[in-house]
Amino acid sequence: MVQELVHSQNVFFETQQTKDVNFRKKHLKLLYQEIMEREDAICDAIYADFQKPKFESLGTETQLVLAELKYAIKNVKSWSEPTRVAAPLVNFPSKEWIQSEPFGKVLIISPWNYPFMLAISPLVGALAAGNTAVIKPSELSPHTSKIISEIIQNVFPPEYVAVVEGGVEVSTQLLAEKWEYIFFTGSTAVGKIVYKSAAEHLTPVTLELSGKNPCIVDETASIKLAAKRIVWGKFLNGGQTCIAPDYILVHRSVKEALTSALMQEITIFYGKKKKKSPDFARMATNKHYQGL
C-alpha cells in the first residue's frame, strides 16, 4: 500500500499540475472551507482523545490552521514569482533571478499533543510550495487522526494528498521510502531515527523536537503577572506543549511569594476541585502522565 501510494504521488507530481499557482490556491481554499465546516467536529475529536477544552482547541489548533491557510492563499502567487537578484561581475551582462521550485513528495509525521494543528500546518506550507504530501498522524490520538483522514479524503485525491494511519510499523514503512522532504514533530529519540532514515537518501528534513524551557523570575518581576503567565504556559493543553515551562529559576528573595502566587493562579484558572476541572486537558496516555 505504501509503495503504491508513493508511486502514485511520483506520477502525479511529474504531471506538473501542482506547479500551477491557481491549482494550489484552489485546493488551499477547499481545505479552508472543509475545516471551517467541520470545526466543531474537529474540536469534538480532540476532546475525545484527551479532553482538551473546546476554547483551547479553537485557539491552539483550528484557528491557527485557518489563519495560516488565509495567509497562504493571499501570498502564494507572490511566493511563486521569480525574485530578481544582482548578477556578479563574472556573469556580466546577464540578468539573474531565483525561481523557487517544489521539492516533490513530502512526508509529514505529526504528534499526539497538538494532533490537528501539527498535522495540517506543515501541510499548508507543503501545498503552497507546490508539493504532494503524505500525512502520518499519531496513533495516540485516534479520533483526531480519523477526522484528519476524512477531511483529506474529501478535499484531495490520494495521489495529491493522503493520510496513512497506524503505529510504529507504518512509520517504519514510510521512512523506508524515498521522499523529497520530511517534516517531523516529536521526541528527540524518534527524531534521530527519522534523521538517520532521511540521510540514506540525502533527504532534507525539518525536525521540531523537544527541549528544556526554563522560566527566570528575578526580584524585579511583577510576581502576580509572572505567576499568571507561567501557569497559563504550563497548564495549557494539560502541560503537553514542547515549549511549556518545565522549571523555574527564581531569585531567593521572591521564592515564597512566587510559590504562593502560583498556587493562587492555579485555583483561579481551574477552581478548587482542579482534578475535575472542565478547563484542564488530560494526559493522552499513562506513559505521558508518568513522564510529566
Catalytic residue IDs? 208, 242
Nearest to 185 by CA among 231, 241, 104: 241
Q: Which residues contact 211 (CB under 8 A, 6 or more apart)?
A: 242, 243
Q: Are 230 and 216 in contact (CB under 8 A)?
A: no
Cα–Cα dist 107/137, whole Å: 11
Q: How far apart are CA 110 and CA 211, in angstroms?
A: 17
Taking phi over 0 as left and psi of -120 to 50 as alpha, with beta for the rest, 16 belongs to: left
Element (H, E) at 258: helix 255-270
* CA end-to-end distance (rounded Å), the chain: 37
| Residues in CB range of 92: below 8 A, 6 or more apart | none
Q: Enter the C-alpha cell of residue 99.
A: 525561481
Please give the Cα distance from 261 to 226 (Å, whole number): 9
The type of residue at 83 is T
- Residue 163 DSSP label: E
Q: How far apart are CA 285 and CA 138, in angstroms?
A: 12
CB 242 within 8 A of CB 210: yes
